[in-house]
């Protein structure tokens, strides 16, 4: 953990806490390191999703009914 870290209190489900503590022990990492990595990954996924939404902002819209027709036609439902 870097010296620029901020302290925060979080409340975890007891089973999640136990699993996190076990993973920290088995990987020789701190719980904070594991949580920081998980949050960074989640935020990166969100950023990627938002970028895709922006890329497709000008795509034509279709109705729900039209989408269902297309999925049926393609044999997906």
* pLDDT tens per residue, range 52-61: 999 999 999 9
pLDDT (tens digit, 9 = 90+) per residue, 1-54? 557 889 999 999 999 999 999 999 999 999 999 999 999 999 999 999 999 999
- Residue 4 is predicted with a pLDDT of 84
- Residue 2 is predicted with a pLDDT of 58
The runs of H, that is alpha helices, within the chain are 14-27, 31-55, 64-73
- Residue 1 is predicted with a pLDDT of 56
| Distance between CA atoms of residues 15 and 22, nearest Å | 11
- Residue 13 is predicted with a pLDDT of 97
């Amino acid at each position: 953990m870097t010296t620029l870290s901020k302290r925060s209190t979080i409340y975890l489900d007891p089973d999640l806490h136990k699993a996190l503590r076990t993973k920290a022990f088995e990987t020789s990492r701190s719980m904070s390191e594991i949580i920081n990595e998980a949050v960074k990954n989640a935020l990166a996924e969100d950023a990627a999703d938002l970028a895709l939404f922006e890329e497709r902002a000008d795509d034509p819209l279709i109705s729900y009914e039209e989408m269902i027709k297309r999925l049926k036609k393609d044999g997906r439902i």
